[in-house]
Structure 1
Amino acid sequence: MPATSSDPVPTLQLASPTSAAWIEQAIRHLDLILLDHANCEKKAAGNALSLLFRYPANGRLVEALSPLAREELQHFERVHRHLQRLGIPIRPLSAAPYASRLNQHLRRSEPEHLLDALLVAAIIEARSHERLGLLGIHVPDPELRQFYLWLAAAEERHWQLYLDLALEQFPAEPVQERLDGLLQVEAEILSTLHPEPRVHS
C-alpha cells in the first residue's frame, strides 16, 4: 500500500557530493559534457517512455511521465541549440558506465522492479540537479551559466516527481530503506572519476 500521511516522509539526499576533480574535468572538456548532456536528455525521455510501455495500465504513471518525456525532449532541443551556437560538431560518444551499473541493481520481480526503477530514476535526476547546478556556477559562458541554473531547477522537480510516484504506490518505510541502499550504490559508482568526461562520470 502507498505511504500515508502518518508515515515519515522519505528524503533523497545524495550519499556523496560531486568532487572538485569532476568540476575541473567538466570545465576543461565542456564540449564533451555538452554532447553527453544532449544524450542524457534523450535517455531521460526514453526512460520515461519505457516505463509507460512496461506499465501501460498504470494511469498515474501515464499521467505523470508522458508530459515528463516531452519536457526532457524540449531540454534536449535547448542543449542542441547551445551546441550549434558554440560550433561544437555533433558526434557519437560512448556512455559512462554510471546508469548501466545502477540498473544492474534493479530487481526483476514485480512490484519490486517498479519501485527500483522509480528510485533509480530519482537518483539520476538528483545527481543531474546537483551537477548541472555546479555547471551553472562554474562554466565560463554566460548563456550556459544561465541555462544550467534554470535547468537545475527542472531536474529538482524531476527527482521529486519520481520519488512522489514511488510513495504513491509503496509504503514509506520500504521506499526509504531501498532508496538509502541505492544511494550508497550510486556513491560507490562515482567514487572513482571516469577518465572520459561525462555528466555522470
Structure 2
Amino acid sequence: MSWQESTQQKMLHLQLPTDPRWVDVAKMRLEDILVDHAYCEQKAASSCISLIIKFPEFDRMVDVLSPVVAEEWEHFEAVMQQIRKRGYSFGHPRKDEYVMQLQRFVRKGGSRTDQLTEHLLMNALIEARSCERFKILWKNLEDEDLQQFYYRLMVSEAGHYVNFINLAKTYQDPQQVERRWEEWLAFEKEVMEQLTIRGDRMH
C-alpha cells in the first residue's frame, strides 16, 4: 500500500463503504458516470464560490478556497475531455439525491461562524465520498487511461477534504468540530444505507 492510500484511508473515516455492486453497474454506465461526474465538478466549484460570496469576511477561508475553485473547474474540463475523446454526449444535469439529503442536515441559525462551519463540514463530507468513489474506479476500471485519471483525482479530492476540515477547525473549537463531524458521518451513513445503488451517478 502506498503512503497516499494509507493516508487517505486513515483520514476519510467514512462509516459505510460504497456497496461493491456499485462499480459493476458504473462500468456498464460509463457515459452516465462521466457526465454526472462533470456536473459534480461544476457544483464543487460553484459551492466554493458561494462560500466566498456568502462569507467574505472570513479571510483565511477566501484565500484557501479561491485556488480550489480553479482546481475544481480544471477537473470539470478534464472530465469533459474524457467525455469527448470517447464520443459521448454531455447532456443535462441530473438530480443529486445524495447532496440533497446532506443539505437537510445543515443546522440553521446560529452565528456566522456556526453557519460557515456547517457548510465546510458538508463540503468535506462530499469530497471524502468522492475520493472514495474515485479510488474504487481507479482500482476496478479496465481502461488504463481512466484508471490513472481517477487516481490523480483521488489524491486531489483528498486534499480538498483536508482544506475544509482544517478551515472549520480554524474558526471553531477543534473539539466542537470533531463532535459535529462525527454527527455528519453518522448521518451520511444513514443516507448511504437508504440510497438506491445507481450506476449512472457518481454519488
TM-score, normalised with respect to structure 1: 0.91
Q: Which residue of 2 aligns with 1:141?
A: 143
Q: Which residue of 1 aligns with 2:5?
A: none
Q: Which stretches of structure 1, 4 residues or longer, exceed 3 Å deviation after superposition?
A: none
Q: Which residue of 2 aligns with 1:121?
A: 123
CA distance in 1, matches of 2:97, 2:72: 21
Picking from 171, 176, 201, the partner of 1:198 is 201
Query: Quick check: 1:28 aligned with 2:28?
Result: yes
Q: Which residue of 2 aligns with 1:88?
A: 88
Deviations 1:109-161 (A, max 9, x none): 22322111101100100111111011011112111111001110000000011
Identity %: 34
Q: Report how far residue 193 of structure 1 moved.
A: 4.3
Query: Quick check: 1:189 aligned with 2:194?
Result: no
Query: Quick check: 1:162 aligned with 2:164?
Result: yes
Query: The residue matched to 2:194 in structure 1 has which SS?
Result: coil
Q: Report how far residue 101 of structure 1 moved.
A: 0.8
Q: Which residue of 2 aligns with 1:178?
A: 180
Q: Report how far residue 180 of structure 1 moved.
A: 0.6
Superposition RMSD on alpha carbons, in Å?
1.2
CA distance in 1, matches of 2:171, 2:33: 35
Q: Which residue of 1 aligns with 2:8?
A: none
Deviations 1:39-80 (A, max 9, x none): 000000000000001111111111011110000000000000
CA distance in 2, matches of 1:71, 1:54: 20
TM-score, normalised with respect to structure 2: 0.90
Q: Which has the higher helix share?
A: 2
CA distance in 2, matches of 1:188, 1:28: 26
Unaligned runs of 5+ residues in structure 1 are: 1-10
Q: Is the 8 A contact 2:98 2:195 kept in 1?
A: no
Unaligned runs of 5+ residues in structure 2 are: 1-10
Q: Which residue of 2 aligns with 1:151?
A: 153
Q: Taking structure 1 as reference, are residues 147 and 12 closer, same or farther at Cα in structure 2, changes over 3 Å only? A: closer
Q: Which residue of 1 aligns with 2:99?
A: 99
Q: Report how far residue 96 of structure 1 moved.
A: 2.7
CA distance in 1, matches of 2:57, 2:182: 29
CA distance in 2, matches of 1:95, 1:25: 19
CA distance in 2, matches of 1:87, 1:192: 34
CA distance in 1, matches of 2:186, 2:169: 20
CA distance in 2, matches of 1:172, 1:195: 35
